[in-house]
Amino acid sequence: MTATTEADAESLPEPEPWTPERVSEWNAYYDVYVMLAALLLAFVVSAVRVDENNPLLWTHLKTGELTAQQGYPVVSDSFSYSETGTRWVNIPWLFQWSHAAIFRLVRDLVPPDPADQTANQASAEQLAIGVLIGINALVRLITAWVLLKIRRPGPGLWWSAVCVALALGAVVWPARILPGGIAGPGMVAPSTWGMLLLAIEMLLLHRAYNEGRRGALYGLVPLFLVWVNLDDSFFVGLLILAAAAVGRVLDGKSAVTLVRRSASSLTDDWTDEQKSLAQIRPVSAAAGLLVLVICIAVCLANPSTYRVFPTSIAPLLSPFGPRTEAFRFSEISYFGKQIQKQFPNDWYWFTGFYVFMVAIGLSSFLLNARRFAWSRFLPFAVIAVFWAIFMGYRQEYAIVFAAVTAINGQEWYHDRFGTQGRLGLLPALWSTGGRLVTLAVLFFCVSAAITGWGRLPDELRFGFSFDANDFAFEAAEYLARQQDIKGNILNTTAAQGDALIWRAYPARRTFIDSRNVFTNEKCEELRRLRVAIRDDVADEWKPALDHYDITAVMIDLAGASGAIESRSSRTYKQLTQSPNWIPFYDDGRVVIFGRADAREPDLATFKNYRLLPELRAYRVAQSVPSADRPPTPTSWIDDFFKNRLAGRPQTHTNAAVRWLQGGMLEGDQPTLPDPARCLLAIREARTALAKNPDDWFAYRLLDAAYRSLAQAETALLSGIPLDRQNQSRVSALVPNIDVLTMRFKQRVTALNYAILTTPPPKTPDARRELQALNMELFQLFLRAGCIDLARDRLQIFLDQVQPGDFPSPEAESQYRQQLEQLNQRVKQVEDNLMDLQVERQAGPVEKAIAARNQGAPGLAIGELEEANRGNMSPLIVKPQL
């Protein structure tokens, strides 16, 4: 046996020796996985829902529809009444037309409901937007793939993938992850396509100036022909091309080192093609300048011809123009005063981020000083300066950063360590261990982007849909239906204008929206007008509104209630108390005020729909839609996916809060919610639940409204007037369950769903709020005599208790004693049911009746469910259930 084993061992082939070639093969094998992980990350962080950060998409889609209808691009402003007929240099018309065509094609694929032609419209739009989001994510993925092609032959794919991940994937910043990397998360916008074209430009410049391929430069000509009709970043592309061409002039004869390798770097493992490529002569400086001139000329081939250049240059010249208080976020400088005003507490993080990222790019040039090239450095320097001046150039910087940092790092590595694999323990730990760590970090970022880990409420979320709650669609549709309002509507935000264009055009036009057709002077005019309206200075706002024939004003109150001090809420309170304005519409996100001096029929409409509690609750008919499904309870999955925790309540809950608080504050206390206000708050909360059945905040508002309504009804039945003097008496009343049975059932239902849909608490305050809900439901069950349900709710309450939640040990002991007493009473009922089954051979229905009569409806429900599973007659079981 031993001899046979030794013979078999001698016959086995010896393991292949570990050579530099095998090391290179294994490294290249792992590099493919790193590359795929980087591409996956770029796709995931770009597959984000369309939300309030991208309202311009709706204007793009509407413009694309008009382009398809009229057969040529839209070049004049027909959307606004403040700039009607103004020449509109609409550069991304190709993006608008193509995306509108795709949107319409996918939307029309959803079959309409024969009974209601509009029933499936919302789902059809969701599907169409999801397709556009998928296309956008694929474009970002292709952009990442193009950037990965900017590299030398040989090892270095790992480093290139890391650079691309920093540019388009994610950046780890103190205590959180920034999805989207330097460029930020991808949005369905022309800029996404502009990034792709800029990446292709960098690839062509690499092949021309780093590899000596003369034909690559001429590929820029058709590139700019498409670019100038797709995105206004084409001008940045021209500047980068100009910088590269000038850099080639400065390189002079030293450009030979970029396309030729020294004899010591030519190894035997190189193919003939690679060796011949290393001997190619550099592209001449004249060729780059010639292509630059041709590309500039090609950019005239667009509907606006030469006007695209002043429009693209205008943002760059804005710092040298007249100073205004109105500015766009993308035009904020990292080193200006505006960023300190916009972010007074943490502006230095933004500046530090810029300095750190630019320092990484500059360090790559210092590291690769042996192969320094002006044709590579000047494009980086130009875009770094632009990014310092305007934060909006982060996407362009990300592309240039990934291109130059990847090639600089690879060239340095080749010069320092060569192209062959390295043997030894430390090189193995660095190459294999480093790649594994990189894979772990990339997949962690992917999981964080999908689950929403560390995401702030106002940041983009992963998904292939949109939430109408993020846009002023309801207000726009309402205004489109109101034919009796003949005057113009002043929208006070650009996002409101985009919603009006999408939902209300051509019935309604805008004062301003997110397009680039509006000058800084027009934005400043809107700012001054908003200040005048906020302070209700009629001598200032009246002439301006009369000039534009404006009879109503939209105030954006998303996320702001009457108790929250903000600019919009201060405007709301001022106008609510002013005799010059009549509030007549409130959907939670937008409140619309009509002028008290408006002409007819506008004024009659404002008065007929005025936001008076008695008028709106008892005299204005308004149907409340029903939810299309029951609420989804929270589960363990919500501990990992943070979308529910970080999601915002449906905006109709803001209107409910304002009704409960009386619309404004008197002193330090809200006005007493009378029955009319309670009914209106219930209506708004139910509307919110019809749009989002999982809105836990709406259920809490329902509970509060039903509780206040029951107390008010109890006060009226007791003969107590509902005024401020009796507020404390009314608040102390305990409604009679036998008299107000319906209110009891409504409160129990609202509380139960509020508890079921509340996200897992992550803070002590959130945990105490959930404990309060369970305690309130426990007290309701106890007052109703439902001992088993009260026992279960008290048990849940005590299970959630943490040290320090009770004011004293005696209080906790009292609740635990009460739980023990309830357990004994429930045990007694269970014993009685068992005796009933043994002595009288009682069935589930008889036991359920007995349990209910003894104050144990939970046990009764269990018995009836068992009877239902036992195929007992539904005519008997269902009514009992």
pLDDT, mean of residues 316-335: 68
What's the pLDDT score for residue 319?
63
Which of residues 878 and 839 earns the better pLDDT score? Answer: 839
Please state which of the ranges 252-266, 367-381, 497-511, 640-654 shows the lowest mean pLDDT.
252-266
What's the pLDDT score for residue 23?
67
| Partners of 171 in beta bridges | 178
CA distances from 64 to 55, 104, 153, 679, 874 (A): 15, 10, 43, 43, 57
CA distances from 865 to 779, 782, 869 (A): 26, 23, 6
At 438-466, the pLDDT tens digits run 999 999 999 988 888 777 767 788 889 99
CA distances from 498 to 84, 513, 658 (A): 16, 6, 26
Distance, CA of 169 to chain centre = 16
Q: Taking 50 as the threshold, does the pLDDT of residue 262 lie above it? A: no
CA pair distance 173, 499, nearest whole angstrom: 34
Residues 475 and 443 both lie in one domain: no
Q: Taking 60 as the threshold, does the pLDDT of residue 74 lie above it? A: yes
Residues 477 and 600 both lie in one domain: yes
Among 190-204, 266-280, 725-739, which range has the highest average pLDDT? 190-204
Please state which of the ranges 113-122, 436-445, 754-763, 785-794 shows the lowest mean pLDDT.
113-122
CA pair distance 371, 359, nearest whole angstrom: 19
In 47-120, alpha helices (H): 56-70, 93-109
Q: Specify if 437 maps to a domain.
A: yes
Helix (H), strand (E) at residue 380: helix 374-389
- Please name which of 584, 511, 517, 583 lies closest in space to residue 549, comparing C-alpha atoms: 511
What's the pLDDT score for residue 847?
81
Q: Taking 80 as the threshold, does the pLDDT of residue 76 lie above it? A: yes
At 540-593, the pLDDT tens digits run 999 999 999 999 999 998 744 333 346 678 888 899 999 999 999 999 999 999
**Using omega within 30 degrees of 0 as the cis cutoff, is the peptide bond preceding 506 cis?**
yes
**In sequence order, what are the residues at sequence separation of 6 or more whose Cβ sits closer than 8 angstroms to the Cβ of residue 721?**
715
What's the pLDDT score for residue 452?
81
Residues 384 and 479 both lie in one domain: no
Q: Taking 80 as the threshold, does the pLDDT of residue 18 lie above it? A: no
What's the pLDDT score for residue 664?
42
How much is the mean pLDDT over the chain?
86
What's the pLDDT score for residue 140?
96
Percent with pLDDT over 70 in the chain: 88
What's the pLDDT score for residue 264?
38
| SS3 letters across 338-352 | HHHHHCCCCHHHHHH
Residues 216 and 266 both lie in one domain: yes
Q: Specify if 802 maps to a domain.
A: yes
Q: What CATH code is carried by the domain that includes residue 810?
A: 1.25.40.10
Residues 447 and 474 both lie in one domain: no
At 589-638, the pLDDT tens digits run 999 999 999 999 999 999 999 999 999 989 888 888 888 889 999 887 77
Among 620-629, 690-699, 841-850, which range has the highest average pLDDT? 690-699
Residues 657 and 768 both lie in one domain: yes
**In sequence order, what are the residues at sequence separation of 6 or more whose Cβ sits closer than 8 angstroms to the Cβ of residue 364?**
404, 405, 408, 409, 412
Q: In angstroms, how far apart are the furthest CA atoms of the chain?
A: 112
Q: Taking 70 as the threshold, does the pLDDT of residue 265 lie above it? A: no
**What is the reported pTM?**
0.88
Are 449 and 459 in contact by the 8 Å Cβ rule? The answer is: no
What's the pLDDT score for residue 562?
34
Q: Taking 90 as the threshold, does the pLDDT of residue 880 lie above it? A: no
Q: Specify if 18 maps to a domain.
A: no
Residues 486 and 419 both lie in one domain: no
Residues 426 and 511 both lie in one domain: no
Q: Specify if 103 maps to a domain.
A: no
Q: What single-letter amino acid sits at 161?
A: A
Range of 780's domain? Answer: 636-827
What's the pLDDT score for residue 126?
93
Q: What single-letter amino acid sits at 828?
A: Q
Are 189 and 432 in contact by the 8 Å Cβ rule? The answer is: no
Q: Specify if 439 maps to a domain.
A: yes
What's the pLDDT score for residue 663?
42
Q: Domain tally for the chain?
A: 3
At 160-175, the pLDDT tens digits run 999 999 999 998 776 6
Q: Specify if 423 maps to a domain.
A: yes
Q: Specify if 479 maps to a domain.
A: yes
At 47-57, the pLDDT tens digits run 999 988 899 99
The one-character DSSP state at 280 is P
Q: Specify if 222 maps to a domain.
A: yes
Residues 356 and 253 both lie in one domain: yes
Task: Label residue 541 left, alpha or beta by phi (over 0 means left) and psi (-120 to 50 means alpha).
Answer: alpha
At 768-787, the pLDDT tens digits run 999 999 999 999 999 999 99
Task: Label residue 785 left, alpha or beta by phi (over 0 means left) and psi (-120 to 50 means alpha).
Answer: left
**In sequence order, what are the residues at sequence separation of 6 or more whose Cβ sits closer than 8 angstroms to the Cβ of residue 286?**
none
Residues 424 and 523 both lie in one domain: no
Which of residues 277 and 103 earns the better pLDDT score? Answer: 103
At 507-532, the pLDDT tens digits run 999 999 999 888 888 888 999 999 99
Residues 777 and 689 both lie in one domain: yes
Are 657 and 589 in contact by the 8 Å Cβ rule? The answer is: no
Residues 520 and 564 both lie in one domain: yes
Structure tokens given for 93? 């018309």
